[in-house]
């Protein structure tokens, strides 16, 4: 599923005009982005959490040429699935295995 399919599904389920559904989905994504850009952690109960990990600069190597390169400090976002969602995903997998 991509963003436009999500907007479409929300419009149908919530009985919203397409334009309004689009605005809402974009607002949700933008507010999550802003939180992460500010280094804030996001906790969505029943879904999971996002946090930022900070890395110091280090000397790495170009894997192709072997040349040394200085990797600048960086921040990366990480997601951890919530327990309930994790279990549901795995249970569905186990069900599929059992049906084979």
Burial class (CB in 10 A: 0-12, 13-18, 19+), 2: exposed
Task: Please identify, using beta-carbon distances, which residue of 15 and 65 lies nearer to another protein.
Answer: 15
Q: State the residues that interact with another protein by CB under 8 A.
A: 1-3, 6, 9-10, 13-14, 16, 20, 23-25, 27-29, 31-33, 35-37, 40-48, 50, 52, 74-79, 81, 85-86, 88-90, 92-93, 96-97
Nearer to another protein, 65 or 74 (CB): 74
Enumerate residues 6+ apart whose C-beta is below 8 A from 51.
Answer: 41, 42, 77, 78, 80
Which one, 66 or 96, has the nearer CB to another protein?
A: 96
How many angstroms from the chain centroid is the CA of residue 82?
12
Residue 79 CB, shortest distance to another protein, in Å, is 3
In sequence order, the β-bridge partners of residue 77 are 52
Max Cα distance, the chain (Å): 57
Shortest distance, CB of residue 88 to another protein, whole angstroms? 5
């Amino acid at each position: 599923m991509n963003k436009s399919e999500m907007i479409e599904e929300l419009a149908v389920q919530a009985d919203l005009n397409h334009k309004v559904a689009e605005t809402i989905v974009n607002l949700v994504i933008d507010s999550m982005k802003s939180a992460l850009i500010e280094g804030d952690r996001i906790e969505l109960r029943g879904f999971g959490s996002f946090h930022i990990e900070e890395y110091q600069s280090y000397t790495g190597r170009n894997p192709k040429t072997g040349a040394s390169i200085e990797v600048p400090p960086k921040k990366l976002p990480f997601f951890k699935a919530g327990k309930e969602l994790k279990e549901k995903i795995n249970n569905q997998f186990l069900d599929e295995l059992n049906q084979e």
